[in-house]
Structure 1
């Protein structure tokens, strides 16, 4: 039977669990910039995209704050972060995906799922981009027409940059990484992270447009309720 993508993910998850078990949990937490509690049961506490996660040790089970199991991609990313973190300080300068180790290998897939998607959906909607980034706790930085920095993990920062389109040039987007990014995750994981961040921005922006449209529609209906609309010409013809 052919192997599925789910099979591949499950294999990666099991390997990551095995790798984490071999680590000194206190040292791993120190290098990753997170907390580790040994009693009553070993547990790492990590903030990922602004949400809290607990990783049990040594069984390496990942749970959300509500004790549910997150999707397998999130589990792998969090385990990989604990495994690969080496404590390198932030570089405080941005690099492109292609500048990550072996980034050229994954660049085409990364561009399609991250910068291109943001530009395609929000390349002519600066307000939508800004509102979505602010809602996701992004910090404004000075690049392009608008750009926001996001603290994805304790020592992993990313930024999304938008250049608006016009009559001459199409909109473009870019996702960049702190220069120390290669010390915390494998490059292919950053391709996944870029897709996650782009999806969150697009989703929030789309939801806000939908809510605004519904509010306008509701306001219109309140002013001119269905069944009570009047035609002045008909009213005039009916008088007398």
Structure 2
């Protein structure tokens, strides 16, 4: 599929989700996702450190920090969170790789190529910049890896990123762990795009271009 066709399909999907949002029970959403704040005509939420607002009048999503517009990946991650969060979903503190999430295995090969391989390639030789990017997201340092931090995709969805830099014998490697509850809060395919967005945000904060075969959603 051509890139412009992909973008068109994503925009259409976002429009469909905006319509779905208008039919959602907003009070129930706020119970399921206490991080949602109703202010200024929005339901506000933070995604990898960036504030967004879902308009209560038409369901569209705005980026609220004045630094551009929300892209399709960000919007779909937010919409699917609202659409798929289960009643009584809760953080389990049970950390697993993507392949061990419920129903994730069919997406494993594409996830590796489009997310963890991109993460490793992008930050190869740039461990210091990666650490600085995590600190900009108020990350919590972890003991494993050359660089290891926990950051929030959403308040309900923390993630753990681990990076081992390249040396004379080995290429750089990266891994990302999810809490096992991730698929109680969102669709398993959205775990892929959420991790992808995390890598992209870290690259932006580090001032580095993405390297590797990313999925390319805008």
Question: Within 1, Cα distance between the matches of 2:172 and 2:70?
Answer: 34
User: Where is the helix percentage greater, Structure 1 or Structure 2?
Assistant: 1
CA offsets per residue over residues 136-168 of structure 1, 9 Å max, x none?
A: 322111222221111111201112101233333
Structure of higher RCO (CA pairs closer than 8 Å, 6+ residues apart):
2
8 Å CA contact 2:74–2:197 kept in 1: the answer is no
8 Å CA contact 1:140–1:147 kept in 2: the answer is yes
Alignment partner, residue 57 of structure 1:
56
Alignment partner, residue 195 of structure 2:
194
Alpha-carbon shift at residue 51 of structure 1 (Å): 1.9
Secondary structure at the residue paired with 1:109?
helix
Alpha-carbon shift at residue 18 of structure 1 (Å): 3.0
Alpha-carbon shift at residue 36 of structure 1 (Å): 4.5
Q: Runs of 5+ in structure 2 lacking a partner? A: 209-218
Q: CA 1:85/1:123 → structure 2, altered by over 3 Å: closer, same or farther?
A: same
8 Å CA contact 1:32–1:81 kept in 2: the answer is no
Task: Say if 2:71 is the partner of 1:77.
Answer: no
Question: Within 2, Cα distance between the matches of 1:166 and 1:64?
Answer: 39
Question: Within 2, Cα distance between the matches of 1:203 and 1:37?
Answer: 29
**Number of residue pairs matched by the alignment:** 204
Secondary structure at the residue paired with 1:168?
coil
* TM-score, normalisation: structure 2: 0.81
Question: Within 1, Cα distance between the matches of 2:9 and 2:102?
Answer: 22
Secondary structure at the residue paired with 1:148?
strand
Question: Within 2, Cα distance between the matches of 1:63 and 1:197?
Answer: 19
Q: RMSD value over aligned CA atoms? A: 2.5
Moved more, 103-112 or 23-32: 103-112
Q: Which has the larger radius of gyration?
A: 1
